[in-house]
Amino acid sequence: MPEKTKAKASEKANSIDKAVSGATSAANTEAVKPAKTRAKKTNLDDAGDAASAKPPKKQAAPAKSTPKKSIKEDAAMETAINSLPTATDNAVTDIKEAPLKVLFVSPEVTPYSQSGGLGEVAGSLPKALRARGVDARVVMPRYYNINRDALPGIKYIDSFMIHLSWRKQSASIYSFDGDVPMYLIENDYYFGRDGLYGYNDDFERFAFFSKAAVEFLSLTDFKPDVIHFNDWHTGLGPVYLRDVYRGFTYYKDMKSLFTIHNLRYQGVFGREILWSVGLDDGYYTNGSLEFYGKVSYMKGGIAFSDAVSTVSGTYANEIRDGIFDYGMAGLLRSRGDRMFGILNGIDAEKNNPATDKRLFANYDVNSIDKKKANKSKLQERLGLPVRDVPMIAIISRLVDQKGLDLVAVAMEEIIGKDIQLVILGTGDGRYENLFRQFAWRAPDKVSANIYYNEEMAQRIYAASDMFLMPSLFEPCGLGQLFAMRFGSVPIVRMTGGLADTVTNYDPAAKTGTGFVFRDYDARGMMWAVNEALRYWYDDRENWLRIVRNGMESDFSWDKSAERYVELYRKMKGM
């Protein structure tokens, strides 16, 4: 950044910093006054004068029990999701004439840091957006154990102070020009630790990150039209943008999109933490952040953002319907036509069996026989007998949500069959120990790999014949998409994104990509497993048709990225 530009940016940041500091102090002073004296909201003005950042008007907390939604409401939801403007609409300006600018805010991004599917999405969606002419950039924390090899030539931009109540913490900003421009926010107090999550002060760590992810923009030459926040870790971002920063001319036109990747994880903390993150108790007493006697960051993201999205259409309907909504259905329904379901995709270029260098052998839909070399090499590597038997893979977090209680009930039946079962992942100790026990009991049939490694995951996808994912609920799921891309046939339950991406095979029509069961029980799961085994052993022609159908399916970001572009454009007019 040129020195003059940098000086102006620093001067602007200092002005904002002083005003936000004053606003934070005023808000905290107001917090001890009676609620009635804090009824009116005053924004920060353009000159940077300090004023108290107040919560919005009272919103009703989600109902303890939510009524079932009618079929008419279902249809209305689908209409809202499908009624986004297209590139041919008169109201939409050509993207080449007015390129969109989007900042993607995520606590994890592949390949720099990842603990789950969010990191994969944050690493691939912005890339797909840029391919469509969107100036998409990403900001994430600079963790202690970040993959430094993936960040050559990282550059320091500047530092500034973030105010959280009485505490002031320094935020240092770094940039990296890769396929997608990256910004990293450094603070050793919050992020100079092993791992990403799971600390007692996560409420403060990610409040700091969310606030810094908004404020650092004043130090750059990048002014986004939309700030795209993701999951509970960034849930306070829309709160800060609306109630602290939007009073400044620089921020007044910025819109916020909040994406729910998994509603089960909501960032719920005690009421007392509001003071620590620079917000007063009014956010609790008026119900805007209150959640069954506590404070929810997820609720903040949903309630304060300009629009809300989640990662598949079926999951959007389920959580609005009170199915796996974890107490949020009423709030989600209140967002009406500002809630959308957009299916996740995968990086098809990176995950290409014909070119992926992580595999033992490359192949494509026209050379599926070469896939066998991956199985034999993996069997050798894992100490399994080198035999051409069905290999079933489980690559997952080992938690209840993934349907592993069904697997636990059926394990005796599974290992009684002529198969091999390969597990990769970590999670609840009871499941880790369950798979270790069966690997010890049946070392010729079970390989329990209780860790996660991306290279090993790719090799298992390429080697396996079937991919077992019997989830209780699944917002989108990426495992089944990777599996089909690499020719491993998915066995899934009909829920969320699994219902949107896997269809049961129809031998008459030669259509379908896997085996799907509906009811959440071990009997239903084993029906699907047995169907897959029957085709593998007794009907290889149809089995190869299923494999090809999956490999030929398009689960790239092409369609979904286009829907996000349309949504961003619609948001500019909100």
- Domain at 541, CATH number: 3.40.50.2000
Q: Which domain holds residue 95?
A: 3-345+559-572
255 with 136, same domain: the answer is: yes
What pLDDT does residue 115 have? Answer: 85
Residues 231 and 110 in one domain: yes
Is-above-0.75 flag for pTM? yes
Residue 492: both structure tokens together: 């899934």
Contact by Cβ (8 Å): 379, 387: yes
Residues 541 and 441 in one domain: yes
Residues 151 and 268 in one domain: yes
Same domain, 21 and 50: yes
- As a whole number of Å, the end-to-end CA separation of the chain is 32
List all residues 6 or more positions away from 169 whose beta carbon is below 8 Å from its beta carbon: 161, 162, 187, 189, 190, 208
How many CB atoms within 10 Å of residue 385? Answer: 11
Question: What is the model's pLDDT at position 13?
Answer: 53
Tokens 């903040």 locate to: 300
Q: Which whole-number Å values give the CA distances from 557 to 103, 127, 344, 349, 518, in the listed order?
A: 18, 9, 7, 11, 27
Answer yes or no: do 319 and 233 share one domain: yes
Q: How far apart are CA 24 and CA 14, in angstroms?
A: 15
Residue 301 has what pLDDT? 98
The dihedrals phi and psi of 350, each to the nearest 5 degrees, come to: -70, -40
Q: What is the pLDDT of residue 15?
A: 53
Q: Both 341 and 407 in a single domain?
A: no
Per-residue buried b or exposed e for 538-564, using 16+ beta carbons within 10 Å of the residue's own CB:
eeeebbebbbbbbbeeebbbeebbbbb
The answer to the question of residue 352 being in a domain is no
Same domain? 125 vs 174: yes
Note the pLDDT of residue 220: 93
Residues 485 and 506 in one domain: yes
Q: What is the tens place of the pLDDT at every residue in 364-390?
A: 999 999 999 999 999 999 999 999 999
The order of strands in the sheet holding 290-291 is 268-269, 294-296, 290-291
Q: For residue 361, tell me if it sits in a domain.
A: no
Q: What tokens were used for 343?
A: 């299916």
Q: Looking at the domain assignment, is residue 359 inside a domain?
A: no
Identity (one letter) of the amino acid at 270? Answer: G
Q: What is the C-alpha to C-alpha distance for residues 156 and 238, in angstroms, rounded to an integer? A: 26
Give, in degrees to the nearest 5, the angle at Cα 14 between 13 and 15.
90
d(CA 106, CA 206): 10
Cα 353 versus chain centre, distance? 24
Q: Looking at residue 288, what DSSP letter applies?
A: S
In a domain, 488, yes or no: yes
Same domain for 460 and 340? no
> How many domains does the structure of the chain reveal?
2
Per residue in 318-348, pLDDT (tens digit) is 999 999 999 999 999 999 999 999 999 999 9
Residue 357 lies in a domain: no
Provide the 8-state DSSP code for 504: B
Return the bridge partners of 556, or none: 346
CA 438 – CA 158 distance, rounded (Å): 53
CA dihedral of 440, 411, 457, 342, whole degrees rounded to 10: -160
- Beta-carbon contacts of 530 under 8 Å, excluding residues fewer than 6 positions away, are none
pLDDT in tens, the chain (574 residues): 444 444 445 555 555 555 555 544 444 434 333 333 333 333 333 333 333 334 444 444 444 334 334 334 344 444 444 444 443 344 444 445 578 999 999 999 999 998 888 999 999 999 999 999 999 999 999 999 898 888 888 999 999 999 998 889 999 999 999 899 999 999 999 999 998 999 999 999 999 999 999 999 999 999 999 999 999 999 999 999 999 999 999 999 999 999 999 999 999 999 999 999 999 999 999 999 999 999 999 999 999 999 999 999 999 999 999 999 999 999 999 999 999 999 999 999 999 999 999 999 999 999 999 999 999 999 999 999 999 999 999 999 999 999 999 999 999 999 999 999 999 999 999 999 999 999 999 999 999 999 999 999 999 999 999 999 999 999 999 999 999 999 999 999 999 999 999 999 999 999 999 999 999 999 999 999 999 999 999 999 999 999 999 999 999 999 999 999 999 999 998 8
Q: Is residue 351 assigned to a domain?
A: no
The Cα 123–Cα 498 span in angstroms is 21
| Rounded Cα gap, residues 182 and 10, in angstroms | 20
Q: Does any domain span residue 353?
A: no
Q: Verify that 260 and 206 share a domain, yes or no.
A: yes
Residue 128 lies in a domain: yes
Report which of 195, 194, 214, 197 is spatially closest to residue 205, judged by C-alpha positions: 197
Same domain for 323 and 410?
A: no
